[in-house]
Amino acid sequence: MNVFPETSIVASQRAILDLPVCDFGWADAFAFADEIASLPIGQTVISFLNANNANLMMRDADYRAILNRHIVLPDGHGVDIASWLFHGKVFPANLNGTDFVPGLLTYMTTPRRVAMIGARADVIERAAENFRKHAPWHEFIAVADGYFDDSRSDEVMARVRELKPDILLIAMGSPKQEKWIDRYVGPGHARLVIGVGALFDFVAGEVPRASLTIRRLRMEWLHRLAYEPGRLWRRYLLGNPRFLFYILRHKLSLKFKTPEVGGRHSGSRSF
């Protein structure tokens, strides 16, 4: 579904567990997404890779294939560890969706129409209202919560098509949101589509953010674990060691792999 667009921003990609991940800094990431939203035609989907998503990808070939069709941005300390292990350096920026999307909306000076799908009905309405306070020059439209039956998906997207948004934010959690986007979202729905996970919960104030100090240390996962231990303990206490196992195993497999002519396994590419 997604084709890398022709833009003025050129960025290399680093392979993380054989998935290309963009190594934008903040400024280039914002400029790239802003330019995408300005294009007259086409569609680009942005997703994020963190340790949990990487674990899901390693067990779900369909999910991996979908991510390969998206622009993927790095999220969190785990992918930095992987980047350092595979490429000798961390990513220039932690472009997690919770910070990236509000920052992008502030960066965009041209008014945009932003459609929103996901979370509970009360949460998405509060998130839309808080977005309006954050960036009042944009228009925010809460299209549907994230609990409708799949049989209504085409109906929901027909409404999106009528609204003609520039940006579509979908908050259903991974891998559901990426698979739903791949199946139901297409050209004509929005030029820029972003899978935003729990963003609406944070923006609505349903779930508190960690302090700025904790976020700078890239330890927000520990804050989230303390706040929602019953829901997240498997993701972090079991998932983080599993992710380390995957990247160490992959590193060993690369060590014993014979390089191909032309440097195809250099781990970096441009688009």
Residue pLDDT tens, the chain, 271 long: 334 566 777 778 999 999 999 999 999 999 999 999 999 889 999 999 999 999 999 999 999 999 999 999 999 889 999 999 999 999 999 999 999 999 999 999 999 999 999 999 999 999 999 999 999 999 999 999 999 999 999 999 999 999 999 999 999 999 999 999 999 999 889 999 999 999 999 999 998 776 677 677 666 767 677 777 877 778 778 889 999 999 999 999 887 775 554 443 334 443 4
Bridge partner residues of 193 (DSSP): 45, 168
How many Cα atoms are found within 13 Å in the side-chain-facing hemisphere of 139?
9
* Amino acid 209: pLDDT: 73
**How high is the pLDDT of residue 1?**
39
Q: According to the model, what pLDDT value does residue 4 have? A: 56
